Amino acid sequence: MSDDNPHSSNGSAQKSWATKLLQLFTGEPNSREELVDLIQDAEERDLIDNDTKEMIEGVLDVAELKVRDIMVPRSQMVTIDINQSVESFLPIVIESQHSRYPVVSENKDHVDGILLAKDLLAYGFNMTTEPFSLEKVMRPAVIVPEGKRVDVLLKEFREQRYHMAVVVDEYGGISGLVTIEDILEEIVGEIEDETDTDEDNKADIRRINASRFSVKALTTIEDFNEYFNTEFTDEEYDTIGGMVAHGFGHLPKIGEEVRLGDISFKVTAADKRRIQQLQVTLHEDSVETASDAT
């Protein structure tokens, strides 16, 4: 007897996918690749949209990342010296527009605490009669090793209710800092706020974290090479999008990734005719090279 229910095929597809998902988590341990294939299959069946798929993949990526992979490097840390007066460090707070600042003594290897910008409000509006003291206002600094797993740190951020940690290397030297926003951006993509300018959003190359960048596909290979200190040839293609499409060997879909040398290119926006936006991930020595270029 035939089934005349118009929703039966869609229901069967959902049941089939749900069965596969149940088998994946209840059977013998499977590889990460099989889980990624399952997520890809769910998107192709329209059971989840592309944004949901990318978020799930972001969660899987975070489980494999170390703090060193996403931290803001030491060279880009905006710090305040513990001996500075309010008048001298306030322009730094206004210009950078961060919410938290490591407070250092001597140099960046000596972090004494963290200053929250909001803690300055009481003094600015004369809500306290106490004289300002940076030592009294700053909060304790949380120190984490650069080899710490990012998913573990996210759990600690949530449980202990802090938003920034100072990162140290194996010798105890300061190598950078990491915030809860850095981790969340690995899952949901770049988080823009009211301080992001139109110029930032229009930039061909924008830094996401220490090793990842958002790059417009129409960025010329010459500009890309200059920014990242790479040596990709522009004899056949003028733009980085054209070069990457050639590297795939086909017009890639959103989410596809290819590695060329020490750089991985992931398609984050595309239509039926061309790549529009790429996420660029640097590996090994190219991280320091790009840091120098900026």
Give CA–CA dist 281/62, Å, rounded.
14
User: Is a pLDDT exceeding 60 seen at residue 6?
Assistant: no
Distance CA 85, CA 236 (A): 56
Mean pLDDT of 253-271: 87
Instruction: Give the pLDDT score at 291.
Output: 45
Nearest-angstrom CA–CA distance, 77 and 90: 16
Query: Can you give the residue ranges of every domain in the chain?
Result: 8-67, 68-187, 197-293
Give domain 68-187's CATH number out of 3.30.70.890, 3.10.580.10, 3.20.20.70, 3.40.190.10: 3.10.580.10
- The CATH fold assigned to 197-293 is 3.30.465
R_g (Cα) of the chain, nearest Å: 23
Q: In DSSP terms, which residues pair with 269 in a beta bridge?
A: 277
DSSP label at 29?
-
**Cα angle for residues 242, 49, 250 (degrees, 5° grid):** 25
Kindly report the average pLDDT of the chain as a whole number: 79
Q: Cα 284 to the chain's mean position, in Å?
A: 17
List, for residues 20-44, the tens digit of each pLDDT value: 555 545 444 367 777 777 777 777 8
Tell me: pLDDT of 199 over 80: no
Does the structure show a pLDDT above 90 at 259? yes
Q: Are 101 and 117 in contact (CB under 8 A)?
A: yes
Maximum Cα–Cα distance for the chain, whole Å?
86
Q: Give the closest residue to 255 by CA, choosing from 264, 246, 71, 263.
A: 264
Backbone angles phi, psi at 251, to 5 degrees: -75, 110
* Claim: this prediction has a pTM higher than 0.95: no
Query: 294: which 2 tokens?
Result: 């900026």
How would residue 129 be classed by pLDDT, with cut points 50, 70 and 90?
low
